[in-house]
A and B are shown apart, each in its own frame.
Chain A
């Protein structure tokens, strides 16, 4: 080999080439990265780069040890408190305690580490708890889907008149740069409703229908993103829950059956798979008395294991979060704005649920 290892590289001021430095930095937390912007001008340029932010997000999504959630705690004197919690294996750890960026705001949904908050559905704020930055994105006057392409918000049409009552149980699920949610479709010919999976593709600003898995015709199924893949779960037989997985990628719409979780006696709406630990699933169970339990389910051995008594029992809302560098003020080029835009879409689905839209 001709290259000499520790001699200064042409493309760098350091004793390591930029490519390697980048690989290392992609594995750091947002907090460390923000601090290391002041190492040198070239480090600042690298870390502030949007491509870097995307790669970093990809990295933190795919590292198994990072199951980050934002917990919304019960209100104290009208102020919401949030904690950033990492769930590593079977351990909870509070990474940071944060004040709500805007007084009285509630957490609605999230996408790529960006949270959408609202106060009484009048104003909407995007907030990145990793970078602690926020921006107010919309007020109630702004009804249609906003696209940020061409650096401006433009109005988009809604999907189709035949879809009503968008998402009764949750906001959309953001996977692979698309957002998915279940929506009820009314058919005039049969005068009946069916429940379809709609997704929004940010590449061309279009809504599409995702084929459901074979034989899944029932009305109540739920969507969730686990390990970077879209999953669908539904009840089959009185106490069994069937979980499907969609192949990775926006254009790969094939489903396969992943597993059956047996002996689930509570209503499915109270059963919330959170993340995987090896082949086990950590599930949050809310019962009707507003107590929350976390269990570890091993579908192969058909066991449920209780989590140790956790500090999270009082939390009222738990939203998936990622270590994300997205910084709204810095977002400029058109395609990188897709994320904000997707969050707006979740907003659409949430607003739709309260019947205030269009």
Chain B
């Protein structure tokens, strides 16, 4: 399957690359969009190959990243429009989806998307309980109960809030 990014006939004439996800689906992306990713840019500079296989990014995540890259490569869009696209892009997304996205931006080295997603994740983490964070980040509590109580005692005011959420 080849999915084209949403581009008019003008940019379709430009050079494009095919990017394959770990699920095997292929995406046709304009080169100007692909090179916004530092990793893809390096690959394209090193070899002539127009097919890039990404073994660690799934379909859904890759499609989102490509939508982002294509929008940001569009010279016809003003910076303001791109900024509002960024806001729209991360709004309403689940924390899990954002985790995969932020990993993909790390692999592909798309710094500005990485920061946008990280900001959104931080916004979701606001007022969350420690237990929620451990669950979402898959972290084992390695404190002894006494050590944890001591840590909490030091900044007790940060805990004194009925707004803390667990979901």
Residues in chain A within 8 A of chain B (CB atoms): 1-6, 13-17, 19-21, 23-29, 31-32, 34-44, 131-132
0/1 string, B100-125, CB within 8 A of A gives 1: 10111011000000110011011101
The total of interchain contacts (Cβ-Cβ below 8 angstroms) comes to: 101
- Cross-chain contact of B133 among A36, A42, A132 (Cβ < 8 A): A36
Q: Which one of A5, A15, A25, A37 has the highest number of Cβ atoms from chain B below 10 Å of its Cβ?
A: A5
Docked complex Cα distance between A205 and B118 (Å) = 37
Whole-angstrom CA separation of A154 from B43 in the bound complex: 55
Task: Report yes or no: A3 in contact with B56, Cβ–Cβ below 8 A.
Answer: yes
Q: Size class of B's contact patch?
A: 35 or more
A contact face: mostly helix, strand, loop, or mixed: loop
28 inter-chain pairs at a CB distance below 8 angstroms, sorted by A residue, are: A1-B56, A1-B107, A6-B103, A13-B139, A13-B140, A15-B99, A15-B137, A15-B138, A16-B102, A19-B106, A20-B118, A23-B114, A23-B115, A24-B125, A27-B119, A27-B122, A28-B125, A31-B158, A32-B125, A34-B158, A37-B151, A38-B143, A38-B148, A39-B134, A39-B139, A40-B139, A40-B141, A44-B151
Q: How far is the CA of A252 from the CA of B102 in the complex (A)?
A: 36
Smallest Cβ-Cβ distance to A133: which chain B residue? B155
Inter-subunit contact B102/A20 (CB<8 Å): yes
CB of B67 within 8 A of chain A? no
Shortest CB distance B34–A (Å): 14
A44 to B158, CA, bound (A): 15
Give chain B's interface secondary structure class.
Answer: helix
- Given A14-B137, A24-B118, 13 more contacts at CB 8 Å? A1-B39, A3-B107, A5-B56, A5-B57, A13-B139, A15-B137, A15-B138, A16-B137, A21-B137, A36-B130, A39-B134, A39-B137, A132-B157
B130 cross-chain contacts in A, Cβ below 8 A: 35-36, 38-39
Residues of B within 8 A of A31 (CB): 158
A1-B54, A3-B56, A41-B142 as given contacts; A35 in contact with B137, CB under 8 Å = no
Given contacts A4-B56, A13-B140, A27-B118, contact A38 B102 (CB under 8 A): no
When the two chains form their complex, are residues A24 and B140 in contact, meaning their CB atoms are under 8 A apart? no
Cα-based distance from A43 to B148 in the complex (angstroms): 12
Contacting residues, chain B, for A27 (C-beta < 8 A): 118-119, 121-123
Instruction: Find the A residue at minimum CB distance from B136.
Output: A15
Is the CB–CB distance between A24 and B54 below 8 Å? no
Q: How far is the CB of A330 from chain B (nearest CB, A)?
A: 11
Q: Given A1-B54, A40-B143, are A35 and B103 also a contact pair (CB < 8 Å)?
A: no
Complex: how many Å from CA A28 to CA B133? 13
B162 part of interface (Cβ distance < 8 Å) = no
Q: Is there a chain A Cβ closer than 8 Å to B14's Cβ?
A: no
B85 at the interface (CB under 8 A from A): no
Closest CB of chain A to B128's CB: distance in Å? 8
